[in-house]
Amino acid sequence: MYGFLISTQPAEAAFPEYGGRVPAIGRRWDGKNLHIRQVTLDKFTGDKLFADTGDFFVATEGVLLNLAELKQRHHTGDTAELFVRLYRERGETFFSLLRGSFSGVFYDKAKDLLLVFTDQQGSKLLFYDTRGGNLCSSSSLPWLAAQCGRRGWSEAGLLELLTFGYSPSCRTVLDGILRVGAGNYLRVTNGAVQELTYHRFTNRHCRHTTAETLRRADELFRQAVRRVTDKNTEYGYGQYIPLSGGLDSRMITRVAVEQTSETVCNFTYGTVGSPDERLSRQVAEAFGTRWTFQSQEGGSFLERIDEAVLRSDMQLSYAGPAESYNALLELPPDRTGIIPTGVGGDNLFHSLFHRTHRRSAYGDFSLSGCFYPEQKGLMPADYARRFENRNIHSLYTRIFYCHNFGAPLTYQCEAESYSVFMDVDLMEYVLAVPEWERKNYRFYDRWVLSFYPDAARILHNDHQIGRREPVVEIMGRSVPVRDVMRRALSFVLRKAGVPLVQRPDASKSPNPTEQWLEENSALRECWDRYFHTNIDLLDAMPRLQAHVSSQYLQTRDCQQRFHALTVLSAVRLLHPRTDSI
């Protein structure tokens, strides 16, 4: 991914070719024992600092949505001066004041202190390797691998990608290379590298739902949307907002229409007749936005395996990135700035879990439900201590390290992306509302009905807002009554080693992969050819090879097959060979 390469050795590795439609800018800074390169998109360049002030070096990647607010508050118009002031006033975690999707580097020459940081949600990737006494950190895993030289595989990281579909532990598929966690930073001094935490989300309850709570939550949500629309306007970009049948993207669109004089452009992708297509059309008509729909019938975009895995930097099962990149190609690259998403909205305004004392187990939020016996010994020693309860565990792993590495990370290949619901000020306020007051959309629906009744007139995924279907609580989670028997049967069969595979209703699913595989022979042949051509890449890891083969050949579960193909692609891309498929 675009961003930095930071090394104590001369940084000479070539940046990987992502094949985007937007030109990139290359920058370079060389100190006595520190070398920094940046390759970034030629967008939002005023937010991307790369400056040597004499005493300090500072660089940023991404968008700083409160940059104008901070400059005004600290009475300066110079970004480099602002960062130096913040560092002197707040110390080495000064970047906790920043809002947006960003990563950065700050070097204090006098103290020989290097700080490398990512944002509070980890939406800008940073990887690092410290073996051999040298630091090497990069925003791109292939770039880092090229700088460090050929590395062995991390079977633990590959197994997480195969079973969970992402890494909840911040491992990568390469041995010794880790991903910097959300809200963390690297502190490098006297040759020692530490990964430390500067921000942690909690849900310690300090307020209950009242009219004032709803009003303040609305103010913070509007501020979060305004930060995005204002930044796009500042740089002359359009307001392109993805729209689905859900509530999150609808509310972003509803508020954005009020806050900008420009025409809001919604785009939807999926299957004709699905709730995403039907409800999005109604929302666009009601709010007066310009709406485009991209049909993905047949699923041919799923043939782009390597493209999708490369653009997500081997961090996520490839299907989601392939789908969103296919949609990105329909947007005008010169007009597309920050694409605001609704990732995490359900986890924030509608709590999924209601027993805060209940802790999760390693792999609880797997995309496939797969778990092999040897993984019991692969959980990091401090893993359980990272998350105070089930809600926070879900927030960091399934939201920050999974969903936010899908469409948002893919959009960053040609633009910027930011989840409005992940605005730090908004999140910290709403997370303090008890989970039992947010469950079954109680808080969410009250907010919508109180401030945006016009948005409530359209169904939410075929359910009426304010009149939700009955639910029961099972193991601390709300389950619709109509789903209890199906989920119970699936649980029993899974425990017996016979997973229940149900073909989604094509009229309700935006991506009915099982149906596409039946009807699209080219897709079936592409998958089979890719698997059989590349499975020998795992010959040196026979146990992993057996698991990949089993998941691809012996199951009808498309999610598990996605994961198997993703592992093969990651190995193929990072250790390329001369033959091709």
Average pLDDT on 8-14 reads 89
Average pLDDT on 465-482 reads 68
Q: Do residues 566 and 318 make contact, with C-beta atoms less than 8 angstroms apart?
A: yes
Mean pLDDT of the chain, nearest integer: 91
Please tell me the pTM assigned to this model. 0.92
Residue 357 has pLDDT above 80, yes or no: no
Condensed to tens digits (0 to 9), the pLDDT of residues 546-558 reads 999 999 999 889 9
Q: Residue 20 — pLDDT band, cuts 50, 70, 90?
A: confident
| Residue/partner pairs of 276-282 with CB below 8 Å, 24 or more apart | 276/244, 276/245, 276/510, 277/245, 277/510, 278/245, 279/244, 279/245, 279/458, 279/459, 279/460, 279/461, 279/462, 280/243, 280/244, 280/245, 282/458
Residue with tokens 């020998």: 536
Euclidean distance between the first and the last CA atom of the chain, given in angstroms as a whole number: 24
d(Cα 158, Cα 315) in Å, to the nearest integer? 10
Residue 185 has pLDDT above 60, yes or no: yes
Q: Do residues 323 and 298 make contact, with C-beta atoms less than 8 angstroms apart?
A: no
Residue 298 has pLDDT above 50, yes or no: yes
d(Cα 528, Cα 91) in Å, to the nearest integer? 54
Residue 507 has pLDDT above 60, yes or no: no
Q: Which residues, at least 6 apart from 249, have a Cβ–Cβ distance to it below 8 Å? A: 241, 242, 243, 341, 342
Who wins on pLDDT, 206 or 529? 529
Residue 94 has pLDDT above 90, yes or no: yes
Residue 576 has pLDDT above 80, yes or no: no
pLDDT of residue 579: 53
Condensed to tens digits (0 to 9), the pLDDT of residues 312-327 reads 999 999 999 999 999 9
pLDDT of residue 580: 46
Q: Do residues 567 and 161 make contact, with C-beta atoms less than 8 angstroms apart?
A: yes
Tokens of 53: 């002030």
Q: Which helix (H) or strand (E) holds 532?
A: helix 521-534
Q: How far is CA 459 from CA 267, 455, 533, in A?
A: 19, 9, 46
pLDDT of residue 288: 97
Tokens of 563: 């994961």
> What is the three-class DSSP state of 441?
helix
Residue 123 phi, psi (nearest 5): -75, -20
pLDDT of residue 149: 81
Q: Which residues, at least 6 apart from 219, have a Cβ–Cβ distance to it below 8 Å? A: none
Angle between helices 275-287 and 248-259 (to 10 degrees): 20
Average pLDDT on 106-126 reads 97
Task: Give me the percent of the chain exceeding a pLDDT of 70.
Answer: 91
Condensed to tens digits (0 to 9), the pLDDT of residues 231-281 reads 999 999 999 999 999 999 999 999 999 999 999 999 999 999 998 999 999
Residue 417 phi, psi (nearest 5): -145, 150
Report H helices in 236-367: 248-259, 275-287, 305-311, 319-328, 345-349
Angle between helices 155-163 and 542-553 (to 10 degrees): 10
Residue 493 has pLDDT above 70, yes or no: no
d(Cα 469, Cα 542) in Å, to the nearest integer? 48
The four Cα atoms 123, 178, 107, 14 give a dihedral, to 10 degrees, of: -90
Q: Residue 206 — pLDDT band, cuts 50, 70, 90?
A: confident
Condensed to tens digits (0 to 9), the pLDDT of residues 333-345 reads 999 999 999 999 9
Q: Which helix (H) or strand (E) holds 291?
A: strand 290-295
Residue 161 has pLDDT above 70, yes or no: yes
Tokens of 221: 């949500």
Residue 358 has pLDDT above 70, yes or no: no
Q: Do residues 562 and 525 make contact, with C-beta atoms less than 8 angstroms apart?
A: no
Q: Residue 176 — pLDDT band, cuts 50, 70, 90?
A: very high
pLDDT of residue 390: 86
* Lowest mean pLDDT across 83-97, 213-227, 369-383: 369-383
Tokens of 424: 């730090």
